[in-house]
């Protein structure tokens, strides 16, 4: 089991950023992959906090496409997945959002009917 913990801090300008914490000493040996291929130009630098490192992962251009794309962060030593982040774009996102809005509308209509019925019954 890995002793490293990865916490996302932000994603900005196509770079996913996180904080890696764990045992003191050497920097973590991480594997970052997209579709089982290594992601290039990943950097890990010591943070100001003890036993912490700043992790920066440039989002690969081929990960920016229709559908759901996931980038995995693993401990190379134990091969344990430490974290992941997902990009969703295109119609997959549109259909999902439309379905959620439809569900919310249905629930709101149900609540309005129940509230109106309650008002009629209590007067």
**What CATH code is carried by the domain that includes residue 33?**
2.60.40.10
DSSP per-residue letters across 39-80 = PTT-EEEE-SSTTEEEEEEEPPGGGSSSEEEEEEEEETTT--
Name the band, by pLDDT with cuts 50, 70 and 90, for residue 92: low
Phi, psi of 109 (to 5 degrees): -60, -40
Residue 46 sits in the same domain as residue 83: yes
Residue 109 sits in the same domain as residue 76: no
Indicate whether 38 pLDDT > 80.
yes
Residue 74 sits in the same domain as residue 98: no
- Mean pLDDT calculated for residue range 34-38: 94
Indicate whether 41 pLDDT > 80.
yes
Residue 3 sits in the same domain as residue 57: yes
Q: Provide the residue range defining the domain that includes 116.
A: 90-123
Give the total number of structural domains in the chain. 2
Indicate whether 93 pLDDT > 80.
no
Contact 60, 17 (CB under 8 A): no
Residue 101 sits in the same domain as residue 116: yes
Contact 44, 20 (CB under 8 A): yes
Residue 27 sits in the same domain as residue 71: yes
């Amino acid at each position: 089991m890995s002793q490293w913990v990865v916490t996302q801090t932000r994603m900005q300008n196509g770079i996913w950023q996180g904080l890696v914490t764990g045992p003191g000493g050497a920097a973590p040996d991480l594997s970052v992959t997209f579709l089982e291929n290594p992601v290039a130009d990943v950097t890990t630098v010591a943070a100001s906090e003890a036993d912490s490192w700043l992790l920066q992962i440039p989002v690969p251009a081929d990960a920016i496409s229709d559908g759901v794309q996931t980038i995995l962060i693993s401990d190379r030593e134990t091969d344990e997945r430490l974290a992941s982040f997902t990009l969703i774009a295109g119609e997959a996102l549109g259909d999902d959002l439309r379905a959620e809005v439809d569900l919310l509308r249905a629930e709101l209509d149900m609540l309005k009917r129940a509230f109106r019925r309650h008002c009629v019954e209590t007067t």
